[in-house]
Amino acid sequence: MKILYAIQGTGNGHLSRAIDVIPALKKIGQVDVLVSGQSSQLEVPFSIKYNRKGLTFRTNSRGGISYFKTFIFSSFITFIKEICLFPVRDYDLVVSDFEPVSAWSSKIFGVKCIEVSHQSAILMKNSPRPSLRYPFSQWILRNYCPSEYKLGIHFSNYNQDIFTPVIRSSVRNLKIRDDNFFLVYLPGYIDEKVISFLSKFKVNWKLYSKYTRVPYRVQNVIVKPIDNKNFLNDLGACSGVFCGAGFELPSEVMYLQKKLVVMPLKGQFEQICNAHCLKLLGISVVNSLNSSESLSIQRWIDEPNCIVELNYKDCTDAIAQRINFIYQRSLFTEHQLSKLNSM
């Protein structure tokens, strides 16, 4: 079986998950990789056969989704060309981690596509969501990456089609210690705003930033460029993590049993849903870098018993087996229908 594994390249989360998912997929077929979207700064140990521009949501300096910037920087004509010209018919199956070029190409040319992503889990039955409905955002999630079959990945098994987080082996193998500093990763915000907020607290911070190429220090904040090896080392050594309400990093922090506080990007439905789920699990949530949240952060720093203990087992082989089962079942169903039609 020839499999195309298609990855949303924006941010580091999808690519991080792919590091462990791809070896599991190779047990059931031959795998090529497509990455689309804004370039990630994460180095990956697998070859990428196809790079496409795709569609990337842009943020503003306040951390919110900017639909204006998204429209300005996205070429929809290029996106449509990428869909129509992509050689999707060379593959028996497309496995998409929220990657739109391959998903739309599969839909148009009739190739089987299974979406395996956190985004698909958000709208599944029994997944916790806030009371505000965000209809446009839900429409985006449903239509951004169309697929015939969907499997989800979430903080908990909210239903039988949802797996728990894929924790990278590099995270599972970390040596855990506490070197008395807090790790910060808030890529939706400019460094100056983050540093101004963090410097109010009498603790040590290490801020990983996509805006710098060299380390520097401002008062009690060390700012470091994105580097996977250094980041993992600091993740294992930190007292706790302050990050956006994404999915992969909060999952890894909880797996490592470190203190965690998250801040969802304004207007991003996925992160708002994540923050809602995490709050139900007992994780601290703040909504801005304004002084009104200073007390919440100080309380989080001082609280010794705010660690959520979750034992996430390795589920990559189980995901690959479920993908294979869905694919084989679809072939069997088509064969049976073909027999009925020929009678």
- Looking at domain 2-166+313-342, what is its CATH homologous superfamily? Glycogen Phosphorylase B; (3.40.50.2000)
Residue 260 sits at φ, ψ, to 5 deg, of -140, 135
Q: In the chain, how long is the greatest CA-to-CA distance?
A: 79
Q: Assign domain 169-302 to its CATH architecture.
A: 3-Layer(aba) Sandwich (3.40)
**pLDDT by position in tens, the chain (length 343):** 999 999 998 777 888 899 999 999 999 999 999 999 876 667 788 999 999 988 876 666 555 556 556 666 667 888 999 999 999 999 999 999 999 999 999 999 999 999 999 999 999 999 999 988 788 888 888 899 999 999 999 999 999 999 999 999 999 999 999 999 999 999 889 999 999 999 999 999 999 998 999 999 999 999 999 998 999 999 999 999 999 999 999 999 999 999 999 999 887 889 999 999 999 999 999 999 999 999 999 999 998 877 787 889 999 999 999 999 999 999 988 867 777 777 6
Q: What SS3 state is found at 164?
A: coil
What per-residue confidence (pLDDT) applies to 181? Answer: 98
CA dist., res. 237 & res. 224, Å (int): 15
Q: Exposed, middle or buried, 126 (CB in 10 Å: 0-12/13-18/19+)? A: exposed
- Start-end of CATH 3.40.50.2000 domains in the chain: 2-166+313-342, 169-302
What per-residue confidence (pLDDT) applies to 89? Answer: 98
What per-residue confidence (pLDDT) applies to 203? Answer: 98
Four-point Cα dihedral 180, 185, 191, 193, nearest 10: -90
Q: What is the rounded end-to-end Cα distance, in angstroms, of the chain?
A: 29
CA dist., res. 264 & res. 189, Å (int): 11
User: At what angle are helices 316-342 and 13-25 packed, to 10 degrees?
Assistant: 60
